[in-house]
Amino acid sequence: MKYETQRVAYPFFAVAMALFALQVVFGIMAATVYVMPEFLAEAMPFHIMRMSHTNLLVVWLLMGFMGCTYYLMPEEAEQEIHSPMIAYIQLAIFAVAGAGALLSYQLGIHEGREFLEQPLWSKILITISFLMFLYNTSMTLLKGRKTAINLVLMLGLWLAAVFWLFAFFNPSNLAVDKLYWWWVVHLWVEGVWELIMASLLAYLLIKMTGVDREVIEKWLYVIIGLALFSGLLGTGHHYYWIGAPGYWQPLSSIFSTLEVLPFFAMVMFAFFMFWKGRRNHPNKSAMLWTLGSATLAFFGAGVWGFMHTLSFINYYTHGTQVTAAHGHLAFFGAYVMMVLAVITYAMPQLRRAQPYNQVTNMWSFWLMTSAMCFMTFTLTFAGVVQTHLQRVMGMNYMEVQDQLQLFYFMRLGAGVVVAIAAVTFFISIFGPVKEQAPATAEA
């Protein structure tokens, strides 16, 4: 750690991991309701668990992105963070907004659009905190060195803030509401968040492989170019059946198919740089998470997204468990794993230690990754069966759900393994430093 203010990242990572733990807990509770329908039916109905699960994911990922930004910005800009005090204050505001929303959900206080359930005061606090964050990091960037990595990262974060403003716009026409709702949801996860992910990936690869910055930054621009050229018009794969014109079907079938390309480029990029790199970096587990993230993002976001993005397929699969399968693996591969990769990379420096507890960390990688893949497979099979019975045969929804029980049992099992893996990760990261780096490693 070259810059003292990189330490600011530590509390962000800690709070993010606490919320990650809660997210997994709510996920397991919701998965339990699928197999034991009366579970907590009175105390906490399913819709509360579900909004808690999804909101926690978004909030902790945003905190993770902030932590990652505070960690890498001083190194990239060669400049201390503009104001650590602002960072701590905006973290506190963000934590209050997130925790406050979560608590209010348990009391049945929420707004009503999916993923945007935060009460208005919470949305406003989130906006304030995010603007403070952007001010703080942008000031650091302005004073310091501009690289492709910190420019693209900041562009992604600024655009995320801009599109977030559509969360305050709720038209009374349901079709129009959905049209702009996707300007937040799709343009985040299939648009500007990819800029954030790609720049974090590029940063980790520069640090751990030692490949030339010139080469890596060129790849970065190519990847994010592919992401936005395909992803902007690809938004239309959500416009097929909500009252939009028919032209979105051919147009977005083509462009959202191309959304696979940036993820394919990322996985090629990551492995190519890994083989090309001369440096044998001692933090093996961070490298594992990095390569794993690129790989699972390709399968989860790329392949599983393509599987149901063509309009004539989506006509049958839209809104089934196929979507749930894709959602789980895409978020996990692209964003969860990338934040965990940066945390795994940064924590030894933040704790002023050689890379530590690597075997434990790698156990958590393989456990979590295989469990998430298994969960995705079970939901995919459930989705295919559901699509056939309900969308082709026209069988009643509830009768179809009864046919999917076995898959829901297996999904719950996968969720429990994810929880075990998450605990293993927390122990390896925050627990006592036991193992030093392997003796062969060079610093």
C-alpha closest to that of 300 among 178, 160, 412, 197? 197
* CB-nearer residue toward another protein: 245 or 432: 245
Q: What is the DSSP string of 45-112?
A: -HHHHHHHHHHHHHHHHHHHHHHHHHHHHHHHHTS--S-HHHHHHHHHHHHHHHHHHHHHHHTT----
C-alpha closest to that of 136 among 188, 198, 93, 199? 93
Q: Side chain identity at 366, as an amino acid letter?
A: W
Q: What is the smallest separation between the CB atom of 334 and another protein, expressed in angstroms? A: 19
C-alpha closest to that of 222 among 274, 266, 254, 191? 266
* CB-nearer residue toward another protein: 233 or 261: 233
* CB-nearer residue toward another protein: 37 or 438: 37
Q: What is the smallest separation between the CB atom of 396 and another protein, expressed in angstroms? A: 6
**Are 420 and 368 contacting, i.e. CB atoms less than 8 angstroms apart?**
no
* CB-nearer residue toward another protein: 104 or 280: 104
- Using only C-alpha atoms, the chain has a radius of gyration, in whole angstroms, of 21
Q: What is the smallest separation between the CB atom of 320 and another protein, expressed in angstroms? A: 7
Rounded Cα–Cα distance for residues 191 and 195 (Å): 7
Q: What is the smallest separation between the CB atom of 386 and another protein, expressed in angstroms? A: 9
**Are 205 and 338 contacting, i.e. CB atoms less than 8 angstroms apart?**
no
**Are 71 and 135 contacting, i.e. CB atoms less than 8 angstroms apart?**
no
| H-helix or E-strand spanning residue 261 | helix 260-276
Q: What is the smallest separation between the CB atom of 399 and another protein, expressed in angstroms? A: 9
* CB-nearer residue toward another protein: 49 or 287: 49
Q: What is the smallest separation between the CB atom of 58 and another protein, expressed in angstroms? A: 14
Tell the burial category of 439 from Cβ atoms under 10 Å away from its Cβ (0-12, 13-18, 19+): exposed
Interior/surface letters 367-405, b for 16+ CB within 10 angstroms, e for the rest = bbbebbbbbbbbbbbbbbbbbebbbeeeeeeeebbeebe
What's the half-sphere exposure (Cβ side, CA atoms, 13 Å) at 325? Answer: 28
Q: What is the smallest separation between the CB atom of 436 and another protein, expressed in angstroms? A: 38
Structure tokens that stand for 383 in this block: 């989705």
Rounded Cα–Cα distance for residues 322 and 389 (Å): 14
* CB-nearer residue toward another protein: 206 or 421: 206
Q: What is the smallest separation between the CB atom of 64 and another protein, expressed in angstroms? A: 24
* CB-nearer residue toward another protein: 394 or 432: 394
* CB-nearer residue toward another protein: 77 or 367: 77
Q: What is the smallest separation between the CB atom of 177 and another protein, expressed in angstroms? A: 8
* CB-nearer residue toward another protein: 36 or 92: 36
